[in-house]
Amino acid sequence: MEESIIDKRAREEFGLDEDLNDSEATADTKGFDPLSSEELIEILGLTIKKDEQNKLATFLCALSAYTKDSQFNISFNAPSSTGKSYIPTEIARLFPDGDVIEVGYCSPTAFFHDVGKYDKEKEGYIVDLSSKILIFLDQPHTQLLQHLRPMLSHDKKEIRLKITDKSQKAGLKTKNIFLKGFPAVIFCTAGLKIDEQETTRFLLLSPETDCDKIRQAILEKIRKEADNKAYVNWLEEDPQRRSIKERIKAIKRESIKEINIGYPEKIEERFFAETKKLKPRHQRDIGRIMSLMKAFALLNLWHRERKGSTIVANEEDIEEAFKIWDVISESQEYNLPPYIYNLYLDVILTAWYEKNPGIGRDFSEITKSIGLTRREVTQKHLQVYGRVLADWLLRQQIIPMIENAGLIMQEPDTNDKRRILIYPTPLLTISGEERNSELGCGVMQNNSELDGGVNEIAG
């Protein structure tokens, strides 16, 4: 069997034994060296500073486009200038240009006209998104996602949609859209309010905004803008970056059709041990965790059990997936982007404890507590994060999301009925001793649990 060009490049670059015959060059020894999450983070860190779990999850999301039906979706939700679109666009530069579709502003119907091709037999537009990485940059709203819900949920391989189109001659006219395949979707928006139906279809991420990350990003920006040509040359000649780009091409060429997972009992044990209260959304969460496992297996397919076009994810892939999930799962539990969840912990909860120093951590005396005004929340936000929080943003988007998650409640002030006060819900217990924060930076370490969901009953 003739060796592929990609395999020859890989052997030259990594110094693999070229004397192996075809029978010895099995899937376990042929191709690229194993790549751990730590090594991958180091490679991605050439251009993306800090944000380790965010860039790792985004890379795996993009790589999942090359699976049959294990693609997953990511939504970056954070205020402007926090780098939410920078991470996916930098990751996308590692992938073949033809596999990446980057969309700026796009109306819900314009997307289908621009991407789709008309089919006379079906009398509709065919939009084939198989093996595509779909990145929506700085979208002002989520209306387009409402049209894509069946595709994002992987309901069927081909989905028929009907949209209305307005023309000068015929006026409003119905058009048929046929969505084919499952892309990996990354959605970036500064709009913090998300419909619950979207939150369950995405991993909700937010870029880190601590001081060290911002400092490193500024230094990298200075280096890039000082001599852009030299910077690009340095980046493209980096051996690690070149190897990961070749690796991605090789993975695509392998055309893996199925990725099975070994040791399902270990997944069950780990997931139920960390999930005490079962909720309907956990049915989708376990799917995302398994998609992460499959993406890790695909990354190291040359070192996984293989039969034809099927590979098997092993214990290493299971462990790597749960390492990511352990970091991001807490905010996912409440259907909140990490930015909103950490604002609740760093600002609202911290300010409430400072205003009520005698209240116990179990909220047993919450009926005697003093609530927070919105002004006190915005003042604490300025103190913690060093930037002003608009009152309309707090009132219209942030507070409703946190309240819907069951983390706070609002009550009229008994002394002034025109004023609404904010209280943390008594259902929540947070260990303040395990949370450290630095004024002006905002640290994201927390431990919490919300009473709710379904108790797991031992069989």
Do residues 285 and 332 make contact, with C-beta atoms less than 8 angstroms apart? Answer: yes
- Using the CB atoms, write b or e for 61-90: b if 16+ within 10 Å: bbbbbbbbebbbbbbbbbbeebbbbbbbeb
Provide the pLDDT for residue 168: 52
* SS3 state at 37: helix
Residue appearing with tokens 């991001």: 328
pLDDT score recorded for residue 366? 60
The sign of the dihedral angle between the CA atoms of 180, 182, 188, 189 is: positive
For residues 57 and 64, give the distance between their C-alpha atoms in angstroms, rounded to a whole number. Answer: 10
Q: Residue 339 in contact with residue 78, Cβ under 8 Å?
A: yes
Contact call for residues 387 and 376 (beta carbons, < 8 A): no
Q: What is the predicted pLDDT for the residue at 70?
A: 85
Whether the Cβ atoms of residue 259 and residue 70 lie closer than 8 Å to each other: yes
Q: Closest by alpha carbon to 207, among 69, 51, 422?
A: 51
What does the pLDDT read at residue 17? 41
**pTM score:** 0.79
- Name the residue type at position 179: L
436: left (phi over 0), alpha (psi -120 to 50) or beta: beta
Residues ≥6 apart with Cβ < 8 Å to 313: 259, 260, 261, 262, 293, 294, 296, 297, 304
Contact between 133 and 95 under an 8 Å Cβ cutoff? The reply is yes
Pairing status of strand 454-455 against strand 277-278? antiparallel
Domains of the chain: 1-31 (no CATH), 32-333 (3.40.50.300), 338-453 (1.10.10)
At 128, give phi and psi (nearest 5°). -95, 110
Q: What are phi and psi of 29, to 5 degrees?
A: -120, -15
10-residue block means of pLDDT along the chain (459 residues)? 43 40 40 90 92 94 91 87 87 94 77 71 82 84 74 78 66 76 87 71 87 88 92 92 94 92 90 80 86 94 93 94 90 89 93 82 62 94 90 91 91 86 70 39 38 40
State how far the alpha carbon of 194 is from the alpha carbons of 286, 355, 433, in Å: 21, 31, 31
pLDDT given for residue 46 in this prediction: 92
Distance separating alpha carbons of residues 436 and 328, to the nearest angstrom: 18
d(CA 91, CA 453): 36
Taken in order 397, 399, 405, 409, the sign of the CA dihedral is negative
Tokens in use for 15? 């110094």
Helices (H), 97-189: 110-115, 143-147, 149-152
| Secondary structure of residue 420 in the 3-state scheme | strand
